[in-house]
Amino acid sequence: MWNWLIERSESATSTKRETEKQDESKGWRRIIKHNTIVQSYKYTIMKIISNYENNILFLKIDSLNPLHRYCSSDLNVFNDPIHGHIELHPLLVKIIDTPQFQRLRNIKQLGGVYFVYPGASHNRFEHSIGVAYLAGELAKALKVKQPELDINERDVLCVQIAGLCHDLGHGPFSHFFDGMFMPEAGDKKWKHEEASIKMFDYLLEENGLKPVMEQYGLEIKDKKENDLKKTYPGREKEKSFLYEIVSNKETGIDVDKFDYFARDCHHLGIQNNFDHQRFIMFARVCDVNGSKHICSRDKEIENMYDIFHTRHSIHRRACQHKIKMAVEIMIKDALLLADKDPYIQIEISNGNGTSKKVPLSKAKDKMEAYMKLTDQVIERILNSSSDSLKEAREILHRVMTRDLYRCVGQATVCSYVFMYVPVLQNVTLDYGMEDNDPISKAFFYRKDKPDKAIPISKSKVSKLLPEHFSDEILRVYWKNHEGLQEKERKNKEKEIKKFFRTQCKDYGPSTHTRRSVLPRTTFIDINTADNMTHRLTALDPS
């Protein structure tokens, strides 16, 4: 239970004294504020916390600066289906109310999954707001429990902004764009995180928000490539743990996952066994080999494994669903055909009163063009009448009429098989760290020693935990673009499946097991099963 005691400091005065009431049933004093009017903003707030053991903790917040000069009436309330009614800082709302952020309303969180699960209609927009909220909740919880960390309101706001803007760089259908389309369009190394940084800069510049951020004591520094790596510049070592809140590069346990687990499971109708509120309750910063990291109670380790079991379940049942993959392959084929078509290219200003057009695959380099690139690109192709887009339009029409590429075979095999199959891209179906135990890098603390971080080995948890944390899947698709009649199509499909089973029997299983290799999906475009092995081409899954 929370109570607030406002103490007068320097020129601060009150018109009425505060009254105290004794709550006999709970055995502790409740401070109630009546019509307090403060004439100066420079005052100190003491937060009183009473926990179930009747121990009292005091958290002192520094004299208020402009960052604190807003009251609850200034906060905007969002009614979120996952987190309920949440309040966001005015600066966060200013960022949300920009065209660059509103763009996320038109990018599906789970890409092509919406074509399989009708409930998966949620977008990056609401996910980003949820991450911002959870980032603030975790930062505030650490601030209350550990005043010695010196987490201030500026730190909390920075973490919330990071959570809000971490997905600004996603392209059409989310991970489809950088995981499937861009590699085949010619840039295999590009990731959406790069665009997130560029889009954030573009957002601030176009909407004049840099002065607004400075009013809240936030300095905008030039961001470099190092910002995408493990070590982040600009933050003192004592507060480096703040980077683990939104994107934890060590353990993968962060609020980004907390929100998308809860949100994705809600919309997919899949059970979410992980309780992120419990994690926040037991989170604590401890020293690990000279660095500060966010740790959890030792008794919470099974809850930690539930994080990655939930991730695996979402990927297996939704993100890597064979029909979803077929849909995204078809969208990818259509976008590749339309990439450089003048009708579908994105028009931007040249800066001298003229304009130029940018191909879809090059939009990521120009934020003016990239902010116009969303899921709606397939609607533009479908509704076009250009002869040059006919082939792309026909592929998307097949998606809409459910005439999809066929998955003609799937098998769990060893990496030895892939010596005979030219696979160029991998699809992830693991616990987030290939074949490594994700909890092996996490640290915990005991109740009697809350400041000492300890590792916990898998053997001390349960014998029922998996031996391996990744799997390898060979999946083969057939385009079926010949317009065959139903009976003829089924006969050819049976022929291909039979050939696939023969290949699996001949080449696997093998003793050459390299379990760290991730599952792969291979795409084939064939006319007959006889020339199947010569017509294998790679599929780049998301």
Residue 264 and residue 119: Cα distance in Å, rounded? 9
212: exposed, middle or buried (C-beta count within 10 Å: 0-12, 13-18, 19+)? middle
The secondary structure of 481-533, three-state, reads CCCCCHHHHHHHHHHHHHHHHHHHHHHCCCCCCCCCCCCEEEEECCCCHHHHH
Residues 404, 493: contact at Cβ < 8 Å? no
CB neighbour class for 25 (10 Å; exposed up to 12, middle 13-18, buried from 19): exposed
In angstroms, the CA 90 to CA 74 distance is 7
Cα–Cα distance, 167 to 472 (Å, whole number) = 29
DSSP 113: G
Main-chain phi, psi angles of 413, to 5 degrees: -135, 175
Catalytic entry in 127, 192, 293, 315: 192
Q: Which residues contact 432 (CB under 8 A, 6 or more apart)?
A: 252, 308, 311, 438
Q: For residue 486, give every residue at least 6 positions away whose Cβ sits within 8 Å of its Cβ, in sequence order, or none.
A: none
Report d(CA 527, CA 434) in Å as an integer.
36
- Within 8 A by CB and 6+ apart from 143, the residues are 59, 149, 151, 155, 156
Residues 6+ apart with CB under 8 A from 434: 469, 470, 516, 518
H helix or E strand, kind and range, residue 5? strand 2-7
Per-residue burial over 406-435, b if 16 or more Cβ lie within 10 Å, else e, is bbbbbbebbbebbeebebebbbbbbbbbeb
The tally of CA atoms less than 13 A away on the side-chain side of residue 184 is: 22
Q: Which H helix or E strand runs over 47?
A: strand 44-50
Q: Which sign does the torsion angle of CA 150, 155, 160, 165 carry?
A: negative
Is 192 assigned a catalytic role? yes
Chain Cα centroid distance, residue 349: 32
One-letter amino acid of 343: Y
Residue 448 has a CB neighbour count (10 Å cut-off) of 6
How many distinct helices (H) and strands (E) make up the chain?
Answer: 17, 17
Active site residues: 192
